[in-house]
Structure 1
């Protein structure tokens, strides 16, 4: 027992410590020591008091003095363990816990704290052994089960981790640390609904915990609860704005909400907090690219590449950004790196970006396989049985982010209207909120039902398809911006088809068919596609026979085109113009002195780069003439001013080639190996214009020069195009829809007869 005088001195010492009067506190504690005969007890008490006030050096001094007096005193060694743990000296903490356990092997409190230190030291297997000894002594300690869950989580033994957390929560349903850590495991397992519930419960207990809000935001975002996620990010960052990862994620979320301009400051906050953090540089680049600020986007990608050249898909984005600017100085070296390392299963380039770099199917398929493997869910929903069609109608579900004035919608609008409603029900699933322009109004009226699913998560979209008993899901986006192909990875419908938006193989097991033709996918190349092929008899491409061309009669003067010149044109997106394609065009200009080249210009750097390249090759840069974008009907009318459309390689014109041909302008192309490099050849074959399909790059150059230099050659092919345009199958929307429906019906019949997917050939 301590005398009243000693107790008073200890109280005065504690008060002095609270007032930060350290000399007075020390004087009182030493006086208490002198008065009390039990010096060890005083030292333990004083050491503990110092520890509680955060003065670990003084705490250790007193406790070590006490330990010297009583080496086997478990209280002293245990408290020393606590003090060393509090200052993150975990090795020393472990030493003193072991000293205490040597004296009392069954001291539960010491064992629990030892396990905590072992987890901090990443000695998880030893921590598990220690915690299990606690559980054998008393299985009803929630904290022990919770700590066991932490050890299992760090060893990636997630099932055992979840089981441990659940045992802890059975004992104490409101244990906040356990709720938080269980949420972390569920996040790792992509079980976001369950993770959401954990973090929501955690926040109710600890509403001022910033990380809790931020992890809740992540789960909400994965569940596509985007506005709720934004509120959670904002609350978490209000409580603690020092998380660069959270700022970067908030920027990504704003992008999903189509609030790209607002996303930029979030990325800047992340960069300011940690300038060498690669992710916000990359994501800021993506956002600037979407905002058509391509020069600024390129600068962000370049900075990110300096920080981490191995960041997932960064090198592909960097090359694509350079291509978008027609800046080829460094892109060639980086492209070679992509090709040389493609076999190493590295996440180098998105499947869409590689279409513009090569026509080699092996490289395209490998990029698609890697991307599909790393972006899809680990497990799909159970397979569906064939639906009992009481009305004998096949339910088609078209999934697209582009149900608006977009190339995909421009081509497909009429087939939705023409589908035979006696045989099909046709549903449009819009996965992105777009402006309700005239095209969207037309599309909404063309479907039996038009369903907005932009606010749904991927699995919710899949379940929406399933609940509506869709028989065939047709993905019009594939691996393109804004698409929700991942919903199909959950197996949204019994039959799933890739069509039009992504002209290549998806490299995945969850897409059963791709719609093509004998030109875009020749028989000898079909094994390079992961899908089975529905071969349409003429061209794979749908077209809208209702498309209007403006009655405005433009003059060449309206676009600064010289009178009397032969006008080559290409209005493909600039990223399709490779250095090789442009070199071919410059050779054509060189061999046809009276010609000019008319191109699309989205920003001034494109024209500057291309004119500089022309000047280097001895071509007058003024022979390159640039134009901007126009409303659809006027854009089509503008084609009448050109003499010949020069296609790009390896990524051909698709919708743009149809635009030119529909307007009466011949298109010159040469095919490669891949789907995207054979699209224009498909259109020209359907129009019976084989003379516009070159056999090689050199043949392409020679033919272009002949068209420019031989009077009347272009007029003859124009006349043939005018004659064939309305009589050939390409622009016969009713015939195309009939053939498409035949392919879809045969695919459905195979499924209903329990036959696996197989190539389907539709007769003319």
Structure 2
């Protein structure tokens, strides 16, 4: 190397002047010392001097790449390490090249680099752990497991690999092995918050809720503690736990905090919810968010729209290609809402594609119904996020609709890679994703997402003219059972709320308790939480004001058609806050059951009001919870008014915008075209807009 460096200088130089290689070596050593001392900018400057003095100093190029990567300048770091590799091969060089590629979202190239490092003799627990994570992301679970086990073999005290192996084992149904791995991880690092979180999640899925709460608390994961408590209706002492969870968002203390699990906290603000989404996205999909987009935003939309509009003018125009991305194309709440829209899309104008990474309608009737929709179904569950995104990009989708957001089972790594020129968030997740790259638009309406709240969203608000929630025009209410068959008393006013238990809280339940006290003979009909302790807590709460357990009745979970049939026996549905009725609200209204609601701060707490507006019952939208109580009490005590409201609901099934699926679908298609037109203009306009109805 010294001889090669001397070739750059004229012969006869004064021997007292250090040769370039000697000088570069000294600069390299000083730079490496600064890098090891975390003085990264000084290290970068010294290492740049070193490679300028000797462009073939491979170790200096390598450490310069590391210094750049540690400043989040991963593309520059990659290039520097590739300069080192151009001089000579090295396992450590390949290992750190993989690191820079990983953070750019170039997973396949990172896997190749890690494997090359291993072949060159690098055996480090962290390398094998990172390799396992990448293999798991691409659904190569057997090799991912082998990589995690190699990490543990290399360093039996590497707790993080035990935790990651446990997550993989749990996801493949090997709970006993997963629990053993988590216990070992926590023996090695009792303060590992991530391991406690994983352990709590495993215990919660097994319905070992007390143990789960204790595990979450040990890890300081207060958002998970409050979520478990709400599943048990254990409301005593929740406020300080809620505040601790919200403080974690504000401080950035817990990046992995799941935004969906926060929706039961009454003090959650839209600003904090958006921030939680941003932090979660950055922690989960940092590499994908940094990767070069597969499709540039707005690319090709002007041409697609021109061809589409030619068709509208009577010529043979091209269809616009719309993609729906979800894990829920089965008998799930999302599909029950969306099925009618999928059936009624105008196949002459829109080419519909369903990208499913979950179960596909195991029920034969649903699968047959999906098959009859004018849509092409793509089952992508076996593909990695990168492969799925590449498939969507190859299909030339013009507008991609993500139906999951941060709900359970999401794979937003697909949208983070930007496989379409415009991406829309809709229906599944009631809030902002927080990371602008995950979705360009969020579909709402003027009630759930008023234009004045635009700053609460990283997405541009695209507003439907009536209600953002669709309805299935083929949904039917079966024959109404008797009250005895449904477990209800022979007489008395029936208040109901079939929302999930986490949406209940002491404040809203106190209002329901007052209603029961003020309405003798009435009962409250709730969805059975499936947990004896939750039933006991609820009965105890109502008993504090003398409401007997017999007046709080739990309805077992039944197939949806049977639920709609029995729902007709209820007299009044009671909305919840801060997260309200969504599908449960439209179910009640379709069954002819009035609902009283009050709009909350969050999108998730304003859906009930939107449904009532779209069905023509604005007078049942209370300004606050005091008015909510008064409206509910008046309906219970005024049979004539109650009968008149119910009759209006019967008529609404024929003419209200909420139940007109064909009208909704045409409005939605107009909204899609308007979104694409704005993107084609590339005006950068983020102002909310409403499509004409």
Please state which band the TM-score falls in when normalised by the shorter chain: 0.7 to 0.9
What is the deviation of 1:140? 6.1
Map of 1:3 onto structure 2: none
Map of 2:311 onto structure 1: none
Give the 3 Å change call, closer, same or farther, for CA 608–196 of structure 1 in structure 2.
same
**d(CA) in 1 for partners of 2:41, 2:621:** 67
* Structure 2: stretches of 5+ with no match in the other structure: 1-20, 308-316
1:556–1:641 contact (8 Å) kept in structure 2:
yes
Residue 280 (str. 1) matches residue 189 (str. 2): no
**d(CA) in 1 for partners of 2:41, 2:434:** 40
Q: Deviations over 1:284-335 (max 9, x none)?
A: 2234444555444323212211xxxxxxxx3322222222222222321122
Residues paired across the two proteins, number: 651
What is the deviation of 1:633? 1.2
Matches within 5 A, 1:328-367: 328-339=235-246, 344=251, 347=254, 349-358=257-266, 360-367=269-276
What is the deviation of 1:740? 1.0
What is the deviation of 1:250? 1.9
1:568–1:596 contact (8 Å) kept in structure 2:
yes
Candidates 215, 218, 221, aligned match of 1:300: 215
What is the deviation of 1:393? 0.9
**d(CA) in 2 for partners of 1:749, 1:617:** 58
Matches within 5 A, 1:223-262: 223-237=138-152, 241-254=156-169
Map of 1:683 onto structure 2: 611
2:404–2:428 contact (8 Å) kept in structure 1:
yes
Map of 2:499 onto structure 1: 572
Candidates 606, 617, 620, aligned match of 2:534: 606
Q: Deviations over 1:659-695 (max 9, x none)?
A: 1222222222122243222211221222212332223
What is the deviation of 1:500? 0.9
Residue 652 (str. 1) matches residue 580 (str. 2): yes
**d(CA) in 2 for partners of 1:292, 1:660:** 29
Map of 2:290 onto structure 1: 378
1:431–1:453 contact (8 Å) kept in structure 2:
yes
Give the 3 Å change call, closer, same or farther, for CA 230–698 of structure 1 in structure 2.
same
Q: Deviations over 1:106-154 (max 9, x none)?
A: 6999999999888777788998899899989987675676566667666
**d(CA) in 1 for partners of 2:25, 2:675:** 66
What is the deviation of 1:656? 0.8
**d(CA) in 2 for partners of 1:503, 1:593:** 37
Structure 2 SS opposite 1:676: helix
Structure number with greater Rg is: 1
Matches within 5 A, 1:713-724: 713-724=641-652
Matches within 5 A, 1:27-66: none
Q: Which has the higher contact order (CA 8 A, sep 6+)?
A: 2
Give the 3 Å change call, closer, same or farther, for CA 760–144 of structure 1 in structure 2.
closer
Residue 430 (str. 1) matches residue 356 (str. 2): yes
Structure 2 SS opposite 1:429: strand
Q: Deviations over 1:564-588 (max 9, x none)?
A: 1322111100111122111111111
Give the 3 Å change call, closer, same or farther, for CA 294–446 of structure 1 in structure 2.
farther
Q: Deviations over 1:379-398 (max 9, x none)?
A: 55133422544542111011
Residue 498 (str. 1) matches residue 425 (str. 2): yes
Structure 2 SS opposite 1:726: helix
Map of 2:403 onto structure 1: 476
Deviates more, 1:257-266 or 1:523-532: 257-266
2:403–2:427 contact (8 Å) kept in structure 1:
yes
Give the 3 Å change call, closer, same or farther, for CA 550–643 of structure 1 in structure 2.
same
**d(CA) in 1 for partners of 2:274, 2:34:** 46
Give the CA RMSD over aligned residues: 3.6
Map of 1:709 onto structure 2: 637
- TM-score w.r.t. the length of structure 1 is 0.76
What is the deviation of 1:417? 1.2
**d(CA) in 2 for partners of 1:184, 1:684:** 52
1:543–1:730 contact (8 Å) kept in structure 2:
yes
Give the 3 Å change call, closer, same or farther, for CA 728–291 of structure 1 in structure 2.
farther
1:251–1:263 contact (8 Å) kept in structure 2:
yes
Q: Deviations over 1:728-758 (max 9, x none)?
A: 2212211111111111122223333444455
* Structure 1: stretches of 5+ with no match in the other structure: 1-104, 306-313
**d(CA) in 2 for partners of 1:287, 1:614:** 32
Matches within 5 A, 1:583-602: 583-600=510-527, 601-602=529-530
Residue 402 (str. 1) matches residue 316 (str. 2): no
